[in-house]
Structure 1
Amino acid sequence: MFCLELVIPPLPQLLTIGHSFWTPGQQHVARSFNVYDMLFVLKGTLYMTEDDVPYEIKEGTMLVLEPNRMHIGHRPCEEITEIYWIHFAHPAPVRTMDSGQISWSIPFTKGTVDDLTPHRQVMYLPKFTNIRATDILPFLQQMLELHHTLSPASSLPLQTLLAGLFVELQTAVSSQFAPRSRLLCDQTIAYLQQHLTRPFDAKHMEQTLHFHFDYLARCLKKYTGMSPLQYLHNLQIKKAKTLLESTEHSVSEIGQQVGIENTNYFIRLFRKQAGMTPGQYRSVRFGRV
């Protein structure tokens, strides 16, 4: 399944939302405008073409029409068709990607207190996919109600609901349509995060996740480029940096808090990943000793 990659922040901004029942014979007009048009069909079928690519948006299906592309109903509805539509503003997508190729778990660059602009991040929106009405209908109904009574008090909740809808759609993409290797990569990462301070134990990982360690390691490396031990060390050093920045704990104490009991080994590992010792990192960041 293909997804649109959108740069955030800022988040997409809701323009309007609507709900209607199209009768047999109704057909969408030809149009091209500089906004996204997201269509959810709950009953019936809507026939749409975008830049000569035809879509049959059947019951339980959604389609995202992209800005500045020509879309038109290429065939009238043949039965009563219930639809919700959302128009939202945002820059054009960076690219279209297969959901199985998205690196869901590779971390973005960590922000610092010196940042003056937000780091580039991305979100993913399915282009054309099945939906579970029970998951998305509460968002659509609440958004429609707030939009009909729009006021300063309801504006922020309305935009927040749009973000929540995007989270729901992205979660469905990452969990339902990802290949097994992607899911096992995410499970391996979750295991390493949960057992950050536990001595690395390949056998325990196998027993917990119910897959051979070598297979789990291949899945993780495929999407992150790291072995389980390398990924664990990466997590430990990231946490150590946070503790160095936010506490007065000694280097030895911080090493223990991230699961590395041997202080000398912790210092060597930190230097290898950060290019400096923990003490130097703290001194550079905050002038501490």
Structure 2
Amino acid sequence: MFRFTSPPLPHYITSGEDTYAAGGKHPDRSSIGVFDLLAVTRGALYLEEGGSPISVPAGHFAILRPDRSHKTAIPCKEETHFYWLHFHTLGSWSEVAEREPYMQLESFVFHVPRSGELHTRESFYERLQQLLELQSEVTAAARFRQQALLQELLLQLQEESSTAAKDPQLALADEAAAYLRRSYRKPLSYKELSEQLHFHANYIALCMKKAFGCTPLDYLTRYRIEQAKQLLIHTGEPIGKIAEETGFLTFPYFVRCFSKHTGTRPKEFRQRYR
């Protein structure tokens, strides 16, 4: 899957549709500089990217990297119709085997699978068709709508092909993280987390390490610090009260944790960013 760090969000460039007869081939291209999203509605594409085969049957999609060559591995065996969409990002991106560790809230990470089945394909095709219809319009509103449609397409791919939906450990990690975010203001223990989720605390920790690269306690501490940052910047509340509101038991402990994770003390952080 691909990991995109935002902002900035990936941006739409252009799109289209094509139909290959039996025996048709996708053009050979090398390092085209944009991501190439392919969604096949009938037939199948048989491609190769950087030496790795990629098959895209009807009702499936694939995203080709901007920095590798791709070509036809096998000509189409039947008439094949597909949509194509080029997008890119000015932010950082990478290909990862699984979801990355928790990130600070100033930026966020989302993951888009490289390929897979489209479970609600008609809505996906409808958005691609809307992009084509907007090509003929030259207004700023049309360009803005194209960018919005790209974000909707990427969100649909992330939600439909969620790794968590296929992996019970990642699903449990998501559930644990959601509970920690809801309850960060009060003291929390592994025992309470275990009772709420009905799993042993060690197993929950294992799942969160797999999903986020950290323990539940580390996740909770980082989330509390992010909430404290917002209060330091956007309110005039005393720092001691902010420590209490974000779930830190004592003021000295809050200062130690904040300094460790941000490299600055809470008072200095407030002075710098307000």
Describe the shift of the 1:91–1:43 C-alpha distance in structure 2 as closer, same or farther (beyond 3 A): same
TM-superposition CA deviations, 1:147-173 (whole Å, max 9, x none)? 233422210110121122122223344
Unaligned runs of 5+ in 2: none
Specify every segment of 5 or more residues in structure 1 that has no aligned partner in the other structure, as ranges: 112-118
Q: Which amino acid aligns with 1:237?
A: I
Where does residue 38 of structure 1 map in the other structure?
Answer: 37
For residues 92 and 244 of structure 2, the distance between their equivalents in structure 1, rounded to whole angstroms, comes to: 44
- Secondary structure in 1 matching 2:63: strand
- CA distance in 1 between partners of 2:137 and 2:198 (Å): 51
Tell me the equivalent position of 2:71.
72
Go from structure 1 to structure 2 and tell me whether the alpha carbon gap of 1:251 and 1:138 turns closer, same or farther (over 3 Å shift).
same
1:272 aligns with 2:256: yes
Distance change in 2, residues 1:270/1:68 (3 Å): closer
Map 1:84-233; keep pairs closer than 5 Å.
84-90=83-89, 95-98=94-97, 101-103=98-100, 106-108=102-104, 111=106, 123-132=110-119, 133-134=121-122, 136-176=124-164, 179-224=167-212, 226-233=214-221
Partner of 2:96, secondary structure, is: strand
- Structure-2 change in CA distance of 1:237 and 1:141 (3 Å): same
SS of structure 2 residue aligned to 1:16 = strand
Q: Which has the higher mean CA deviation after the structures are superposed, 45-54 or 88-97?
A: 88-97
Q: 1:248 aligns with which of 236, 240, 247?
A: 236
Q: Distance in 1 between matches of 2:51 and 2:213?
A: 39
RMSD of aligned alpha carbons: 3.1
Report the equivalent of 2:245. 257
- Tell me the matched-pair count: 266
Q: Larger Cα Rg: Structure 1 or Structure 2?
A: 1
Partner of 2:267: 282
SS in 1 for 2:135: helix
Identical-pair percentage: 30
Moved more, 56-65 or 131-140: 131-140
Decide which of 2, 5, 25 is 1:4's aligned counterpart: 2
Question: Which deviations, in whole Å up to 9, do the C-alpha atoms of 1:113-132 show, x marking residues without a partner?
Answer: xxxxxx7x655432232222
Please give the secondary structure, in 2, of the residue aligned with 1:270: helix
Counterpart-to-counterpart distance in 2, 1:57 and 1:225 = 32
Q: Deviations over 1:60-102 (max 9, x none)?
A: 221222235333334332323221111224479854321xx32
Contact 2:44 2:78 (8 Å CA) reproduced? yes
Query: Match of 2:61?
Result: 62
Shift of residue 9, structure 1, vs aligned partner: 4.3
Q: Is the contact made by 2:165 and 2:171 (CA closer than 8 Å) also made in structure 1?
A: no
Is the alpha carbon distance of 1:240 and 1:90 closer, same or farther for their aligned partners in structure 2, counting shifts above 3 Å? closer
Match of 2:27 in 1: 29
Letter in 1 for 2:25: Q
Change (3 A) 1:281 1:70: closer
Q: Deviations over 1:185-214 (max 9, x none)?
A: 221111010112233144443343232222
CA contact (8 A) 1:66 1:92 kept: no
Q: Is the 8 A contact 1:47 1:54 kept in 2?
A: yes
Q: Return the letter of the residue paired with 2:103.
A: P
Amino acid in structure 1 at the alignment position of 2:141: A
